[in-house]
Amino acid sequence: MNNLTLPIIARDLGRVGLGCGQLGLPTVDEPSFPLRGMLWQEKKRPFFEMIIQWRGRRIKLPMFVDTGGRSACLNEVSWEALAPGINLTEWNERIFKIVQIQGVQTELYLGMGRTSGVNAVGCEWLSRARLILVADYSHRGCILIKSDEATRQALPGLPQVMR
């Protein structure tokens, strides 16, 4: 994935009724769950349109749920949409900003290396938000739901490793 891919993902989310269809639109919407998304293209990566808020600015961006990654990151194009005029030239892998992603406070980094072209949230964000990711591979849909006792009881067989 690269910077050119994100507008396509935003368009695809909009086409199936799961987003606004554009990248980085300002919004007054309040973040909420459950959140519906899609499993994108042949690798069926889970993407959701999420609300990102920083310093009073709130925008919608397509976000990849990277269960193999730890941190949350935005690419340069998305950082520019969130914080017009921000200087990213001196950033490195240790520099981050505290933002709200879908109402959950998290550290947000500039994507570098394998994540340089994508917006992603990782397993730390999923844990902090107390979410369950459910994927329906046959219909190419996915959903993020709150992990509470009622939800866990409705999903029989879901292991509970930690208490």
What tens digit of pLDDT does each residue of 110-160 get?
Answer: 887 766 778 999 999 999 999 999 999 999 999 999 988 777 777 776 666
Token readout for 150 is 């009622």
Tens-digit pLDDT profile for residues 32-68? 999 999 999 888 999 999 999 999 999 999 999 998 8
pLDDT of residue 163: 46
- Least confident range of 52-61, 70-79, 89-98: 89-98
Determine how β-strand 72-74 pairs with β-strand 104-110: parallel
CA distances from 41 to 9, 89, 107, 148 (A): 10, 32, 28, 31
- Third-level CATH fold of 5-154: Cathepsin D, subunit A; domain 1 (2.40.70)
Determine how β-strand 104-110 pairs with β-strand 96-101: antiparallel
pTM: 0.87
Contact 111, 92 (CB under 8 A): no
